């Protein structure tokens, strides 16, 4: 049967007293009919932002171990831009649609799932397909929305928090008392690095490009900021009494590689997450050797579902509860309708925004 002729599917949600549209009848809840098709944003031809176009597609198949999420919001991230340009292909078996993080409501569960019942408010790291009204996600990559967070706010978390947890925490061994230099401190990755460092008892120095961005980084927990126009290494050494920083989170690349080495302490670890200013660099190898510095790089999307589930468990047990504290500072977000994904990409490419950019589906705009 063709996709356009697929019969609607029905599922039964548990009681949701705050959603009057889901009326209760005694002990039974009203059935929700899933549509045969959904709106989604696809990449018509790799290239500029206008390659992002809205289309109608069948709902994704829910495989064993997966949950189907009705998407309320989807975060916009650097890998989405790289995929749109044709530089970051989805791994085998992943959705070809862009979008690596979402929030929404679980509406169906595949065989073998046990953690997130239909009706649960969740946020998730996807393997692709987030720019759509529905997405299927391995259950191990799904986390509950923190208490008091909107869907738009929650959608800004997974990709950056999974990335920083994997690289800075699990791989580079961030520990209490360490000092971390965070480049791009007013962006998604930078903001996540500052807040995760604070939770774990480390101190962050943020590198920014304007007074407004510096103020935002400090509001997230950075104890000091450095403007990119300064001599970053000299300023960092001054802030650390000549010792240097224990860890560096670099999203810049290019010439910043040498600066990171100069700013690092002995036995430091430089974590390379992105290369916004260049993918090649002249690195002072003798200085790295003399200081015993480690430099590591990683991309998140190609990692296995098992690896991503392990990262999710670390977030759940070590970090997540802090996000529900009443004084927790939520990331600054700017929202766009899903249909305006191209405009969101253009704003991200301009590199003048603060915090995260988030797309809202029609369902998300109604919440």
pLDDT tens profile 276-307: 888 898 999 999 999 999 999 989 999 999 99
Cβ atoms of 73 and 151 closer than 8 Å: yes
List the alpha helices (DSSP H) in 91-183.
151-154, 158-164
pLDDT tens profile 134-192: 999 999 999 999 999 999 999 999 999 999 999 999 999 999 999 999 999 999 999 99
Quote the crossing angle between the two packed helices 211-220 and 188-199, to the nearest 10°: 30
Q: What is the model's pLDDT at position 31?
A: 53
- Parallel, antiparallel or unpaired: strands 245-250 and 264-272: parallel
Look up the pTM and report it: 0.90
Q: With a cut of 60, say whether residue 11 has pLDDT above it.
A: no
Cβ atoms of 221 and 193 closer than 8 Å: no
- State which CATH number among 3.20.20.140, 3.90.180.10, 2.170.120.12, 3.30.2010.10 fits the domain covering 160-297: 3.90.180.10
pLDDT tens profile 223-232: 999 999 999 9
Q: What is the mean pLDDT of residues 317-346?
A: 97
Cβ atoms of 32 and 51 closer than 8 Å: no
Q: How far apart are CA 192 and CA 197, in angstroms?
A: 8
- Rounded to the nearest integer, the mean pLDDT of the chain is 91
Q: What are phi and psi of 269, to 5 degrees?
A: -135, 120
Q: What are phi and psi of 28, to 5 degrees?
A: -105, 145
Q: With a cut of 80, say whether residue 6 has pLDDT above it.
A: no
Cβ-based neighbour number of residue 338 at 10 Å: 25
Q: How far apart are CA 266 and CA 290, in angstroms?
A: 8
Q: What is the model's pLDDT at position 3?
A: 38
pLDDT tens profile 24-82: 222 233 456 899 999 999 999 999 999 999 999 999 999 999 999 999 999 999 999 99
Q: What is the model's pLDDT at position 315?
A: 98
**Domain 3-156+302-365 in CATH: superfamily?**
Medium-chain alcohol dehydrogenases, catalytic domain (3.90.180.10)
Q: What is the mean pLDDT of residues 328-348?
A: 97
Q: How far apart are CA 241 and CA 2, in angstroms?
A: 68
Q: What is the model's pLDDT at position 32?
A: 65
Which residues, 6 or more positions from 318, have their beta carbon under 8 angstroms from its beta carbon?
A: 169, 199, 200
Q: What is the model's pLDDT at position 278?
A: 87
Q: Give the residue extent of every domain in the chain.
A: 3-156+302-365, 160-297
Q: What is the mean pLDDT of residues 109-117?
A: 93
Q: How many CA atoms lie within 13 A of 266 on its CB side?
A: 3
In the chain, % of residues over pLDDT 70: 91
Q: With a cut of 60, say whether residue 269 has pLDDT above it.
A: yes
Q: How far apart are CA 217 and CA 211, in angstroms?
A: 10
Can you name the residues that pair with 191 across neighbouring β-strands? Answer: none
């Amino acid at each position: 049967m063709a996709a356009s002729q697929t019969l609607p599917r029905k599922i039964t949600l548990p009681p949701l007293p705050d959603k009057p549209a889901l009326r209760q009848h005694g002990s039974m809840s009203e059935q929700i009919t899933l549509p045969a098709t959904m709106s989604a944003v696809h990449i018509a031809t790799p290239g500029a932002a206008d390659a992002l176009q809205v289309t109608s597609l069948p709902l994704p198949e829910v495989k064993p171990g997966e949950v189907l999420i009705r998407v309320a919001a989807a975060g916009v991230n650097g890998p989405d831009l790289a995929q749109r340009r044709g530089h970051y292909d989805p791994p085998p078996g992943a959705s070809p649609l862009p979008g690596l993080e979402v929030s929404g409501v679980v509406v169906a569960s595949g065989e073998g799932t046990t953690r997130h019942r239909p009706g649960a408010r969740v946020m998730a790291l996807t393997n692709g397909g987030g720019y759509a009204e529905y997405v299927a996600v391995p259950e191990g990559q799904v986390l509950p929305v923190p208490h008091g967070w909107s869907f738009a706010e929650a959608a800004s978390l997974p990709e950056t928090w999974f990335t920083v947890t994997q690289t800075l925490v699990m791989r580079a061994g961030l520990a209490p008392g360490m000092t971390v230099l965070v480049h791009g401190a007013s962006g998604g990755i930078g903001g996540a690095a500052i807040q995760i460092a604070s939770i774990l008892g480390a101190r962050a120095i943020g590198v920014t490009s304007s007074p407004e961005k510096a103020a935002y980084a400090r509001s997230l927990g950075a104890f000091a900021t450095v403007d990119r126009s300064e001599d970053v290494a000299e300023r960092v050494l001054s802030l650390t009494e000549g010792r240097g920083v224990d860890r560096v989170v670099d999203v810049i690349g290019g010439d910043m590689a040498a600066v990171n080495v100069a700013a690092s302490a002995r036995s430091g670890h430089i974590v390379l997450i992105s290369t916004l200013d260049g993918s090649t660099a002249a690195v002072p190898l003798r200085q790295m050797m003399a200081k015993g510095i480690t430099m590591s790089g990683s991309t998140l999307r190609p990692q296995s579902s098992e690896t991503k589930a392990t990262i999710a468990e670390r977030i759940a047990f070590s970090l997540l509860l802090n996000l529900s504290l009443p004084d927790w500072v939520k990331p600054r977000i700017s929202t766009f309708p899903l249909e305006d994904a191209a405009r969101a990409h253009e704003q991200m490419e301009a590199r003048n925004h603060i915090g995260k950019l988030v797309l809202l589906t029609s369902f998300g705009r109604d919440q």
